[in-house]
Structure 1
Amino acid sequence: MTKLIVLITIAIILLFVFIIILIYAIIKKSKRLLWLSALSLALLFCTGTYTLYYGLKKGKEKTLSITKNAFEKAFPKFDSETPDTESNKKHFSDFLKVNITPDVKNIYCFDDTFGQDADFMFAFNCDSLTTIKIIEHHLLKKDSLAGNDSESLQHDFFWWDKKKIRELECFSWDSNNEGKNIHKRFWYDQKLKKAYYFEFDL
């Protein structure tokens, strides 16, 4: 911003210099002053062109920055590398529909919304009371078999233990809409106090 102000100031000074020299050249009828005014005009043109270019460049960068920040604020990314980011906490609340109480931590999440079908994965630590709230809110029913029927749809992350999930009780819910259906799967490791939530549509 400081550079832009300096450039504008120089351009204004060059404009006044050009006008003054031109007036003197006309009054004195001096070719030397006319050449000098032409030179000051050329400097003014170059400085003005660069100032315009620089101003547009900075304006574009500022606009892109504001747009990016606004987009990230409205649609925060799913952070699969770092736990407990503000965006992960927001997505946790949006998807799981429970408050983030002190027992809820190490929240990792991931989304895959490319293509025709979408899926969302959450892994986090919590106590059994929080799992009861999640199960009740989402109307999840206990499956007769451990594990799940959706492992092939899940992605591989260090925080998503597929092997462990196969051994855990699965709670599920499936919509009965015509066309694309939403499916929810939930597992809880009582020993490690770790929960896994998987939501996908087909």
Structure 2
Amino acid sequence: MNNRIYFLILLWTAFSSCQHFDSGKPDTDSNRKRLEEYLEIGLTRDVNHIYCDGDLGPDYSVLFSFNCDSSTVGRIIKKKNLRISREYDDGLFFSEEFSWWNKEKIAEIKPYVNIKRGKLSQYLWYDKKANKAYYQELGF
């Protein structure tokens, strides 16, 4: 009986700590929390219309799309140690299609990147006219 209770508690703990992404609805508490976790910055009032999705596991990938002003982009660049790419780069392939992940717009913008070969890749695209940011992180 004690083993069964222990197993149920362990199972509940594992599932309750799982990250949740609301890819179909913007600005949920979960999306705000995920964005703060991955960007490692406090969210300010300018950050809204947050969409995200993730594929977690040993090799994880997350996508975020959100509106913000250029000062927030500057904080992200500094925190993540991103550098402007010399070329246009649309990041790495993500298996699912989302209406909020604008591949055509991303292809027109030089991203800020931080690539640690074999460990982590981070991309940030910022559409200045629309105040729209796209962030992709991949862990290996």
Uncovered stretches (5+) of structure 1, i.e. residues with no partner: 1-62
Structure 2 counterpart of 1:135: 77
What CA distance in whole angstroms lies between the structure 2 residues aligned with 1:87 and 1:112? 15
Please name the residue that 2:96 is paired with. 155
> As a proportion of its length, which structure holds more helix?
1
For residue 30 of structure 2, give the secondary structure of its aligned residue in structure 1. helix
Deviation string, structure 1 residues 72-128 (Cα, Å, up to 9, x no partner): 4x33411101111111111111001111111000111101125x5211000000000
Q: Based on CA coordinates, which of the two structures has the bigger radius of gyration?
A: 1
Amino-acid identity (%): 35
**TM-score, structure 1 as length reference:** 0.59
More strand by share: 2
For 2:97 and 2:121, how far apart are their aligned partners in 1? 19
RMSD, matched Cα: 2.1
Aligned partner of residue 95 in structure 1, secondary structure: helix
CA contact (8 A) 2:90 2:103 kept: no
Residue by residue, what CA displacement relative to the aligned partner does 1:46-70 show, whole Å, maximum 9, x if unpaired?
xxxxxxxxxxxxxxxxx89xx48x9
Structure 1 runs, 4 residues or longer, greater than 6 Å off: none
Give the one of 68, 81, 85 matched to 2:24: 81
Answer yes or no: is 1:186 the counterpart of 2:124: yes
Residues 31 and 51, structure 2, Cα contact 8 Å, conserved in 1: yes
* Structure 2 residues not aligned, in runs of 5+: 1-7
Q: What are the superposed Cα offsets for residues 111-160 of structure 1, whole Å, 9 maximum, x if unpaired? A: 1125x52110000000000000000110001001123342x236310000
Is residue 2:107 matched to residue 1:169?
no
Q: Distance in 2 between matches of 1:164 and 1:147?
A: 11
Aligned residues: 131
Distance between the aligned counterparts of 2:106 and 2:27, measured in 1?
22
Measured in 2, the distance between the counterparts of 1:88 and 1:113 equals 15
Distance in 1 (CA, whole Å) between partners of 2:83 and 2:95 is: 20
TM-score by length of 2: 0.84
Matches within 5 A, 1:108-127: 108-113=51-56, 117-127=59-69
Q: Which residue of 2 aligns with 1:94?
A: 37
CA distance in 2, matches of 1:153, 1:103: 27
User: CA separation of 1:109/1:149 partners in 2, compared to 1, >3 Å: closer, same or farther?
Assistant: closer
Q: For residues 92 and 140 of structure 1, do their structure 2 counterparts lie closer, same or farther at Cα, with a shift above 3 Å needed? A: same
Structure 2 contact 91–123 (Cα < 8 Å) conserved:
no
